[in-house]
A and B are shown apart, each in its own frame.
Chain A
Amino acid sequence: MKKVMMGDHAVAIGAKLSRAEVIPAFPITPQTLIIEHIADLINDGEMNAKFLTMESEHSVMSAAAAASAAGARVFTATSSQGLAFMHEMVYATAPLRLPVVMVNANRTLGGPPGIWCEHNDSMGVRDSGWLQVYVEDNQEALDMVIQGYRIAEDKRVMLPIMPCLDGFVLTHTVEPVDIPEQEDVDSFLPSFSPDIMLDPVKPAMIGTFMPAEYIMELRRQTAGAVESAKHVVMEINDEFAKTFDRNYGGLIDIYRMDDAEIALVTTGTVTSTSRAIVDELRNKGKKVGLVKLRFFRPFPIEELRKALAGISAVGVFDRSISYHGGGPTFMEVRSALYGMNITAVNHLAGIGGRDVTEDQIRKMFEITQKAAKGEKVNTINWHNTRGESV
């Protein structure tokens, strides 16, 4: 059934269809509509879950971890400062192998304070062991909550996952969304049944003090689980595509990369605009392509190398900045392409929520094209920025 709705509502419906059982919540713009809508669904009797009005995001993730450890399917959502405030608990959740699904509505991480879309918030927890997927539209936001539980709760993975959607650009923007049938979701997503949980019938200790003699193996296991998530993401993507007829490509989604000479790598909503520009440039005979980086964790090194093989330059879009120079996506993509003789340039745009226009994307391709030809260009390019802008 198709309905028009905002991204936040689509996410809430995703949580409902996934039969999330415990929802610890705390308001923060632009995520708040998600938890408000879930509260509505519960109070109207349309969703059977415990809604917990916590007193901070730190407590949200604490309650989420504890409820997950006690065997419940947990959903929550946050943004920006909220994610930063729960940082400690985000790092606690993954190595304890608690498959919480938390949507992050990407927002500027202060200071200075701002509420508009930026990826600095979620990039700050990229090394926490959480899986991260950046979505492009409201449909994908809903679908990745459902897929998120399948991936997170898979016995080969058992890690929390963070679907990230662009604040306001998606959270507060109305789009048509095809709502899956509950029975289809039920057969796609079985109920959560962890092997180890807090249960007096079979007591277990979770989160014990870990001396140096053991913790390194635990770290290795967690890293291994992130790695094995790569196959699981692909499997579940294909199964989802068969069931619901929507194929997102898994770790990355490639667009017009056949015979491409240059490419742009994007995350989030900028992908849609970039796709239009690729079409435009292709119509002019330019051999350009696009790679939508969906999963940032696990980072699809092999998939990127395969998708970008044969091109001479790649432009990497970043909506966040690592203050020593480039953006985190750029750093990871360039590292992934090591030894491939592909020139990589970084395009910083849309930071702090500034619009990323078609013109800016044309400029990104133009600079990347120059790099491909061997012309001298800046490695780090700040688009539409006062001062030394491109």
Chain B
Amino acid sequence: MITIKTLSDENLFTAGHTACPGCGVAMSIRNAIRVLGKDTVVYVPASCAVVFGTTFPYGAWKVPFFHTAFENTGACLTGMQAAFEIKGKHVISAGFAGDGGTYDIGLQSMSGAAERNDDVLYICLDNEAYMNTGIQRSGGTPFGAWTTTTPVGKKIQGNRRFKKNLGDIVTAHEIPYYATLSIGHPLDFIRKVEKAKNIKGFRFLHMFTPCVPGWKIDPAKSVEITKRAVESGMWTLYEFENGKKKITYKPGKMKSVKDYLLMQGRFRHMSEEDIKILQMWVCKKWNLHYKEKGEPDICEIVQPEEHHGITEEHREMHGP
């Protein structure tokens, strides 16, 4: 088992790349590839990672790298892995796609690879919007968040839909391994990457990756923010294996979402009412998806006053 002590010091994603300070994507890539090692070939679809890591004539990758388009991470992994298999090469085919490239435009291609259970490692770097094009809403954007396509207007403030439940979509493919990770939880992070490295079939690692300009946060706080996301239930660390979901970190008592929201400019405009709606969504999500039978409530559901029409939608989604 790899630990922090035994983790390779060799950076296969080197310093000198041009990601923003505090970039969750760069941190996740660097640490993941340290665990995966040299015998890895990576595919990166259109994203910040292509720009900050591969702008010709410079390149930060010390392992083979491939890029062609935006929506095809699953298919490219399938293709390269087929080539390695027929050539008898033992290589890990790993894709590093963003949330837009996975939740939205790349969902079909990912689903194809997952459904075929191709022997590839799919990594989704989830920073909850299209950051490379300048912060547009994706299916991974949380309720209330400001983006340039969900602006804070006089009539409508921020994103009015809830974050898509990608984990359930992915695990519905009955794949061998799915896990959620965060850069704020390095031991858990390393363990899950190593586990995914050694499992055969379609593995999916879902990494929560703060974006400094997109979330309007202090670059020094991106790791702390991921911890608060987990403590407030806005991000849950779990793994799905052999058809079973297992929480790998359970907060003692769930912190208020406010605790998480207040550190980020993208939520700063949110009304008390919207914060209540988000809080209710978080608690219901926890109770529905992660809470085990007979466990005490750790998340207190606060009923918001009914307007905006959003509570109706919410009922449709999650029941009364």
Q: Report A's interface with B, CB cutoff 8 A.
A: 21-22, 24, 48-50, 52-56, 58-60, 62-72, 74, 88-89, 92-93, 96, 198-200, 203-211, 214
Of the residues B50, B62, B68, contact of A96 by C-beta under 8 Å: B68
Contact A66 B79 (CB under 8 A): yes
Residue of A nearest to B58 (CB): A208
Contact B55 A66 (CB under 8 A): no
Task: Pick the residue among B62, B66, B112 that contacts A69 (CB under 8 A).
Answer: B66
A63 touches B86 (CB 8 A): no
Taking the closest CB of chain A, its distance from the CB of B16, in whole angstroms, is 14
- Contact between A62 and B76, CB atoms less than 8 A apart: yes
Instruction: Enumerate chain A residues within 8 angstroms of B61, measured Cβ to Cβ.
Output: 203, 205
Q: What are the interface flags for B49-69 relative to A under an 8 Å C-beta threshold, 1 for contact and 0 otherwise?
A: 011001111010111111111
Q: How far is the CB of B223 from chain A (nearest CB, A)?
A: 27
Complex Cα spacing A59 to B105, Å: 12
With beta carbons under 8 angstroms apart, the residue of A60, A198, A209, A214 that contacts B50 is A209
In the assembled complex, the Cα of A208 lies from the Cα of B50 at a distance in Å of: 7
Q: Which of B39, B50, B77, B83 contacts A22 (CB 8 A)?
A: B83
The winner among B41, B65, B80 for most chain A CB atoms within 10 A is B80
Closest partner residue, chain B, to A202 (CB atom): B64
The verdict on A59 contacting B74 (CB below 8 Å), with A22-B79, A205-B59, A210-B56 known, is yes
Residues of chain A within 8 A (CB-CB) of B51 are 209
The winner among B39, B69, B91, B115 for most chain A CB atoms within 10 A is B69
Please tell me if the beta carbons of B109 and A55 are within 8 angstroms of each other in the complex. yes
Shortest Cβ distance from residue A18 to the other chain B in the assembled complex, whole angstroms: 14
> Are B56 and A88 in contact (CB-based, < 8 A)?
no
Q: Which residue of B lies closest to A69 (CB)?
A: B66
Contacts of A200 in B (CB 8 A): 38-41, 63-64, 91
**Is A66 within 8 A of B83, CB to CB?**
yes
CB distance from A363 to the nearest CB of B (A): 45
What would be 26 A-B contacts, judged by CB atoms less than 8 Å apart? A21-B83, A49-B86, A50-B82, A52-B82, A54-B78, A58-B71, A58-B72, A59-B109, A60-B75, A62-B69, A63-B82, A66-B77, A67-B83, A69-B66, A70-B41, A70-B80, A72-B86, A89-B69, A198-B64, A200-B63, A203-B62, A204-B65, A205-B64, A205-B66, A208-B50, A208-B56
Further 9 A-B residue pairs, CB within 8 A, beyond A70-B83, A89-B69, A198-B65: A22-B82, A48-B86, A52-B116, A58-B75, A72-B86, A200-B38, A200-B63, A203-B61, A207-B67
Q: Are A66 and B54 in contact (CB under 8 A)?
A: no
Q: Is B87 part of the contact surface with A, judged by Cβ < 8 Å?
A: yes
A206 to B65, CA, bound (A): 6
A92 touches B112 (CB 8 A): no
List the interface of chain B (C-beta within 8 A of A): 38-41, 43, 50-51, 54-57, 59, 61-69, 71-72, 74-80, 82-87, 89, 91, 108-109, 111-112, 115-116
Closest CB in chain A relative to B74 CB, distance in Å: 7
| Structural contact, A55 and B108, CB atoms closer than 8 A | yes
Known: A55-B109, A71-B83, A72-B82. A63 touches B67 (CB 8 A): no
Residues of A near B76 (CB, < 8 A) are 62-63, 65-66
* Main DSSP-derived SS at the A contact region: mixed
Candidates B38, B59, B65, B112; contact of A54 at CB < 8 Å = B112
B286 to chain A, nearest CB (A): 33
Could you say which of A21, A48, A69, A205 contacts B54, with CB atoms under 8 Å apart?
Answer: A205
Interface centre among A71, A72, A208 (most CB of B within 10 A): A208
The reply to whether B86 and A66 form a contact with Cβ atoms under 8 Å apart is: no
Residue of B whose beta carbon sits closest to that of A205 = B65
Measured CB to CB, the nearest residue on chain A to B90 is A200
B86: A residues at CB distance < 8 A: 21-22, 48-50, 72
Given the contacts A88-B69, A209-B55, A66 and B75 also touching, CB distance less than 8 Å:
yes
Asked if B43 and A66 make an inter-chain contact with CB atoms under 8 angstroms apart, the answer reads yes
Say whether B66 contacts A52, CB under 8 Å: no
Would A92 and B54 count as touching, CB distance under 8 A?
no
Taken together as a complex, chains A and B put the C-alpha atoms of A56 and B72 apart, in Å, by 10
Closest residue on chain A to residue B59 by CB atoms:
A205
Nearest-neighbor residue (CB-CB) of A70 within chain B:
B83
Complex CA distance for A110 and B75, rounded to whole angstroms: 26
A53-B116 contact, Cβ under 8 Å, with A63-B82, A66-B80, A198-B41? yes
The interface centre, meaning the residue of A21, A67, A93, A200 with most chain B CB atoms within 10 A of its CB, is: A200
> Chain A residues near B57 (CB, 8 Å)?
214
Complex contacts, B116 vs chain A, CB 8 Å: 52-53
Given that A55-B109, A59-B75 are contacting pairs, would A66 and B91 also be in contact in the complex, using a CB cutoff of 8 Å?
no
A192 to chain B, nearest CB (A): 10
Asked if B109 and A208 sit within 8 Å, CB to CB, the answer is no
B41 near A65 (CB under 8 angstroms)? Answer: no
In the assembled complex, the Cα of A166 lies from the Cα of B68 at a distance in Å of 30
CA distance A96 to B115 in the complex (A): 29
Counting chain B CB atoms within 10 Å of each CB, the highest count among A54, A209, A211 belongs to: A209
Cα distance A1–B62 when bound, in Å?
Answer: 50
- A50-B85, A209-B55 known; A56+B108 contact, CB < 8 A: yes
Question: Is B109's CB under 8 angstroms from A64's CB?
Answer: no
Closest A-B pairs by Cβ, 9 of them: A63-B79, A66-B79, A59-B75, A70-B83, A55-B112, A62-B72, A72-B83, A62-B75, A207-B67
